[in-house]
Amino acid sequence: MSPPHSILAALILFATAAHSYPTATPLDQIASNADALELTLKERSPNPQYWANQMNPAPSDSYPNDPSDIAPDFNHDGAALSKRFPTGNNIVKPFYISQFNPSSQSVTHNPTTGKVSFSGGVTTIFTFNMPSNLAGRKCTIGFSLESRDNSVKLSNGNPVVMVYSRASAPPQMNIRSWTTAGSNRVDHIGNLKLNRNGNADIFETPTSLRDFDCMTMQRAWEVAPRFNVEAEWGNGAGSGMYISYK
């Protein structure tokens, strides 16, 4: 004999209640989860400024005026690179750098790397704001490659670059052709043999890189390839030209 309809209805209702069916996650909950994940990543990041830059990237044609404003590069284990130009109170660091193409006269302002390339026809110009209190002192141009700068690339073991004084500093912008007055080289003042993990050596003649009369105000020097040379280094990672004085 079949059970009454009321009993069947009760059994069906009980079975339905006992079984839990999955429900769709509301859109506002998904958004909340994403915000929580982003916050967690920010908190765990060794460089909070990196996340600020990712969320609010600068326009592609804008650059910081001072290489020290650039967020530090990272080595492979995630540790921030210290900006290790030789330390001391007698060091002047570059205000900005520019990649320069002598053939086309084009300028790239404050690129992510400095570069000297014989095959690519590229040099790098370093611009310094020389303090007025250096008048009467002696200056020396140095060049350092930070051992933890992962951007460093050198050809031919220890390539040699030529150093030129410039009539004026490049403009602080990207331009296709820098042909205004003062855009020319002045003198070949010396050569530097680059060392991967430290300071360059002054090489052969001329030797005007050492103990010259310190200049004041804004000055610029250019490094160019000597023969078939390729070299690259990180901008703002502790590598590049610097001025020491005494």
Least confident of 38-42, 116-120, 142-146, 188-192: 38-42
**Token pair of 86 as six digits:** 């030789």
φ and ψ at residue 222, rounded to 5 degrees: -115, 140
Burial class of residue 240 in the structure, from the number of CB atoms within 10 Å of its CB (0-12 exposed, 13-18 middle, 19+ buried): buried
The pLDDT of residue 74 is 35
Rounded CA-CA distance 165/9 in Å is: 96
Q: Stretch 140-160: mean pLDDT, rounded?
A: 90
- The helix/strand/coil state of 140 is strand
The pLDDT of residue 197 is 85
CB under 8 A, 24+ apart: contacts of 176-185: 176/104, 176/105, 176/106, 177/104, 177/105, 177/106, 178/100, 178/105, 178/106, 178/107, 179/105, 183/105, 185/222
Torsion angle of the four alpha carbons 89, 90, 95, 98, in this order, in degrees rounded to the nearest 10: -140
Residue with the bigger pLDDT between 203 and 15: it is: 203
Q: What percentage of the chain carries pLDDT values higher than 70? A: 64
> Distances from the Cα of 59 to the Cαs of 84, 108, 171, 242, in angstroms?
28, 15, 18, 29
Residue with the bigger pLDDT between 236 and 187: it is: 187
Rounded CA-CA distance 120/131 in Å is: 34
pLDDT tens for 57-89 read 333 332 233 333 333 333 333 333 444 556 667
CB atoms under 10 Å from CB of 165, counted, come to: 18
The pLDDT of residue 181 is 74
Band of pLDDT at residue 148, cut at 50, 70 and 90? confident
Residues 161/191, Cβ–Cβ less than 8 Å: yes
Strands 160-166 and 240-245: unpaired
Q: Stretch 29-40: mean pLDDT, rounded?
A: 44
The pLDDT of residue 194 is 94
Q: Residue 50 pLDDT more than 50? A: no
Domains recognised in the chain with CATH numbers: 90-245 (2.60.120)
Strands 160-166 and 230-234: unpaired
**Token pair of 105 as six digits:** 């006269």
Q: What is the mean pLDDT of the chain?
A: 75
Q: Which of 90, 171, 103 is nearest to 134 (CA)?
A: 90
pLDDT tens for 174-230 read 999 998 877 899 999 999 999 988 899 999 989 899 999 999 899 999 999 998 999
Residue with tokens 């310094």: 128
pLDDT tens for 159-180 read 999 999 999 999 999 999 998 8
